[in-house]
Amino acid sequence: MAETRFWRAALYAALVFAALYYLLPLYVMLTTSVKSIEEIRAGNLLSLPAGITFDAWSKAWSTACTGVSCNGLSGYFWNSVQMVIPAVAISTMLGAINGYVLSKWRFRGSEVVFALILFGVFMPFQVLLLPMAQTLGLFGLANTTAGLVFVHVVCGTASTTLFFRNYYVGIPDELIKAARLDGAGFWRIFWRIILPMSTPIIMVTLIWQFTQIWNDFLFGVVFASGDAQPITVGLNNLANTSTSVKEYNVDMAAALIAALPTIVVYVLAGKYFVRGLTAGAVKG
Amino acid sequence: MGALAIKNVTKSFGDTHILKGINIDIEAGEFLILVGPSGCGKSTLMNIIAGLESPTSGEVCIADRIVNEVAPKDRDIAMVFQSYALYPTMNVRQNIAFGMETRGVPKAEQNEVIARVAKMLQIDHLLDRKPSALSGGQRQRVAMGRALARNPKLFLFDEPLSNLDAKLRVEMRVEIKQLHQRLKTTIVYVTHDQIEAMTLGDKIAVMKDGVIQQFGSPEDIYERPANLFVAGFIGSPSMNFLPCHLVEQNGQVGVTLQGVEAPKFIALQDRAGLKERVGQKVILGVRPEQWDVENTPDALVCKVKITEPTGPDTMIYSEVNGVEMIARVHPRAASGPGTTLPLVLDVKKAVLFDPETELRIA
Ligand SMILES: Nc1ncnc2c1ncn2[C@@H]1O[C@H](COP(=O)(O)OP(=O)(O)OP(=O)(O)O)[C@@H](O)[C@H]1O
Ligand SMILES: [Mg+2]
């Protein structure tokens, strides 16, 4: 009895330590972002702020210099929003339809198609850069937000297809047969039967795609310039723009601004994430 | 009028031949049972009748119309699946209404049908529940309700009771029988439960490996099984298969059986085609209930190895002609293991099989 209690205590101690270890950088970022620059220079990294000021946040948002222009991250942020919403929506929708076809409307060669799509999941995206640049040029989408959306849809559909296909494989085929006897066709079965059952996997896909696309730097820096650049590129520019003194509080505030949407999405939809990853194990 | 005719239907998935020339013909209002071991192609045949899969060759006719090219929804059929296949995100009412909605039945009529079906199956109080909040038996009823709402020419039931516990199964079996007597709709019913097959069917098709072994009335199948497989598959406990030689004694053809005493000659009266076979090996098929305990000079004395009292009857395990033999006798006539019992065979009901072809010869 005493022994199990000891081990339990040890276990919790280890967990708390691990949690603190991972939370520490977030703590440093948060506190630093609300400290004044004088306090940062004087104090130590881990101390609580003497007074809270949001100057660094507003500077990071609207006046910090990112290269030659000094308008903060706000423009980049809206670029990212305009990119991420259609890209996530379209790639999730395509993934759902692909997964539905590849699991419930198999055709000759559908396994081959699926294998090829899987290939796309594991392909390093660097190999895409040159051909994609040419393709975007051909479509007249180079350096636009629409171009970035296109790239992310193309690259994201492989994973979303995999997610949905594996989820739908767990849905009994008899459900489709029953619906066909009820007179429903391909789309009606999809909208009325399949999609309403898909909430967990839609949530998983949304979180996954949102995080991937929001955090992407490679495509943003390669395929967008000037007006269309996403927040990751803006953050990079902001941190790399040399000023006389290094403004750590502004850098931290900027990094938090860039990270905030993914955190919000995870908090809102996260409970589905774990549920979605384990769904299909039990039939409902 | 022919309700359902299946003509030479075959089905292959690549090189694996699942159905190998199926022929079935039933009249309107008949209750057809498809029975056979797991994997013999029963569900595949059902799917072909429903139009959910197309046959590799052959014809399917429903109500004297060739329906090979007709879509499932236009075949005027309804199906109940083994897993019930209820739409999990819809409540019971929506589940029943979905088909009507798709066919564009007016709302008022939909409600009428739902009310009628729910009353018939006693699921009125469940209409607003999701399938996940129903018990197995209730789900089964809802699945039936969905089929009934259609009022089709042909019902297809694919093992509708196999997910239920034993007691509920018996109840639902009776209900399905009553339902059929009331509606008089043609039903094709898949099962691998031979009791369901015997109790429900007007006609039974026994399948094995994609071939129909026998197609006939329950009585035909039970009394005159076409081959060893059918004889062994239908009936519980199974028919006893006793290896014998056909011999002729005093002008009568018969077989000899040996229990614990000297071999006994059993004459097989008036059966055609036995004379020619004298001297050949045959298999004598005797159902457990065809034995009686009777102390006569003709009785075959057998040693009791195990007894299994089931309540109304007692199963006696013993050995005849070197193989295990089960007799179903009255509990009061039974005696304990190690004793001997005089058993008399009801010769008229015994059947003979050719051990080579496995077909019944008499
Ligand atoms: N799409 C398919 N591709 C290949 N083989 C298949 C396919 N569908 C079914 N089979 C095979 O066909 C055979 C018959 O299957 P079927 O489902 O008709 O059996 P069943 O008689 O209904 O069995 P059970 O009593 O277990 O339901 C099985 O061996 C199965 O593996
Ligand atoms: Mg089956």
Instruction: Give yes or no: residues B78 and B172 share one domain.
Output: yes
CA of residue A172 to ligand 1 center, whole Å: 15
Is residue B362 a part of any domain in this protein?
no
Other C-beta atoms lying within 10 Å of the C-beta of residue B251: 6
Chain A contact set for B52 (CB, 8 A)? 177, 180-181
Is residue B75 a part of any domain in this protein?
yes
Instruction: Give yes or no: residues B268 and B223 share one domain.
Output: no
pTM: 0.84
Is residue B187 a part of any domain in this protein?
yes
How far apart, in whole angstroms, are the C-alpha atoms of residue A269 and residue A210?
Answer: 11
Residue type, B188: V
> B213, B233, B253: which is the final residue of a domain?
B233
Domain limits, CATH 1.10.3720.10, in chain A: 74-279
Instruction: Give yes or no: residues B250 and B227 share one domain.
Output: no
How far, in Å, are A167, B149, B196, B210, B238 from residue A193 at the CA level? 14, 19, 33, 33, 45
- Which among A104, A182, A197 is the top mutation candidate for probing chain B, defined by the most B β-carbons within 10 Å of its own β-carbon? A182
Given the DSSP bridges, would you call strands B281-286 and B351-353 parallel, antiparallel or unpaired?
Answer: antiparallel
Instruction: Give yes or no: residues B100 and B197 share one domain.
Output: yes
pLDDT surpasses 70 at A280:
no
Per-residue tokens: A94? 């395509």
pLDDT surpasses 80 at B114:
yes
Evaluated on CA atoms A179, A183, A189, A191, the torsion sign reads negative
Pocket around ligand 1 at a 6 A CB cut-off: B 13, 16, 18, 38-44, 192
Instruction: Give yes or no: residues B225 and B265 share one domain.
Output: no
Is residue B359 a part of any domain in this protein?
no
Other C-beta atoms lying within 10 Å of the C-beta of residue B354: 17
**pLDDT grade for A80, boundaries at 50, 70 and 90:** very high
Chain B contact set for A180 (CB, 8 A)? 52, 72-73
Which residue out of B10, B15, B42, B83 has the highest number of ligand 1 atoms within 8 Å of its CB and is therefore the one to mutate? B42
Instruction: Give yes or no: residues B12 and B120 share one domain.
Output: yes
CATH number at residue B191: 3.40.50.300
Instruction: Give yes or no: residues B218 and B104 share one domain.
Output: yes
A178 touches chain B (CB under 8 A): yes
Averaged over A1-5, what is the pLDDT? 81
Instruction: Give yes or no: residues B57 and B206 share one domain.
Output: yes
pLDDT surpasses 80 at A275:
no
Q: Which of B77, B89, B103 sits opposite A196 (nearest CB)?
A: B89
A196 touches chain B (CB under 8 A): yes
- Compute the nearest-CA separation of A94 from chain B (Å): 22
CA of residue B15 to ligand 1 center, whole Å: 14
**pLDDT grade for A156, boundaries at 50, 70 and 90:** very high
Q: Verify whether the Cβ–Cβ distance B99 to A181 is below 8 Å.
A: yes
CATH number at residue B347: 2.40.50.140
Expressed as residue numbers, the domain containing B32 is 2-233
Per-residue pLDDT at B187: 96
A195 touches chain B (CB under 8 A): no
Instruction: Give yes or no: residues B169 and B67 share one domain.
Output: yes
Q: Which of B78, B89, B102 sits opposite A197 (nearest CB)?
A: B89
Is residue B209 a part of any domain in this protein?
yes
ipTM of model: 0.84
Contacts of B175 (CB under 8 A, 6+ apart): none
Instruction: Give yes or no: residues B20 and B38 share one domain.
Output: yes
User: Which residue's alpha carbon is nearest to atom 19 within ligand 1?
Assistant: B39
Averaged over A250-274, what is the pLDDT? 87
How far, in Å, are A161, B82, B304 from residue B190 at the CA level? 36, 9, 38
Q: Verify whether the Cβ–Cβ distance B83 to A174 is below 8 Å.
A: yes
> B191, B212, B233: which is the final residue of a domain?
B233
Instruction: Give yes or no: residues B183 and B250 share one domain.
Output: no
Chain A contact set for B98 (CB, 8 A)? 179, 182, 184, 192
Q: Roughly how many angstroms between the first and final C-alpha of chain B, as a whole number?
A: 33
A226 touches chain B (CB under 8 A): no
Q: How many domains does chain B have?
A: 2
CA of residue A278 to ligand 2 center, whole Å: 28
A184 touches chain B (CB under 8 A): yes
Per-residue pLDDT at B112: 95
> B233, B254, B274: which is the final residue of a domain?
B233
Binding-site residues on chain B for chain A (CB distance < 8 A): 47, 50, 52, 72-73, 77-79, 81-83, 85, 87-89, 98-99, 102-103, 132, 146
Three-state DSSP string of chain A: CHHHHHHHHHHHHHHHHHHHHHHHHHHHHHHHHCCCHHHHHHCCCCCCCCCCCCHHHHHHHHHCCECCECCCCHHHHHHHHHHHHHHHHHHHHHHHHHHHHHHHCCCCCHHHHHHHHHHHHHCCHHHHHHHHHHHHHHHCCCCCHHHHHHHHHHHHHHHHHHHHHHHHHCCCHHHHHHHHHCCCCHHHHHHHHHHHHCHHHHHHHHHHHHHHHHHCCHHHHHHCCHHHCCHHHHHHHHHHCCCCCCCHHHHHHHHHHHHHHHHHHHHHHHHHHHHHHHCCCCCC
DSSP secondary structure string, B72-97? Answer: GGGS-EEEE-TT----TTS-HHHHHH
Contact B140, B172 (CB under 8 A): yes
| A236 half-sphere exposure, CB direction, 13 A CA radius | 11
Per-residue pLDDT at A281: 40
Q: Roughly how many angstroms between the first and final C-alpha of chain A, as a whole number?
A: 40
Q: Verify whether the Cβ–Cβ distance A179 to B47 is below 8 Å.
A: no
pLDDT surpasses 80 at A282:
no
**pLDDT grade for B271, boundaries at 50, 70 and 90:** confident
CATH code of the domain made up of A74-279: 1.10.3720.10
pLDDT in tens, B48-103: 999 999 999 999 999 999 999 999 999 999 999 988 999 999 999 999 999 999 99
Is residue B358 a part of any domain in this protein?
no
CA of residue B60 to ligand 1 center, whole Å: 19
Instruction: Give yes or no: residues B81 and B8 share one domain.
Output: yes
Per-residue tokens: A219? 């495509």
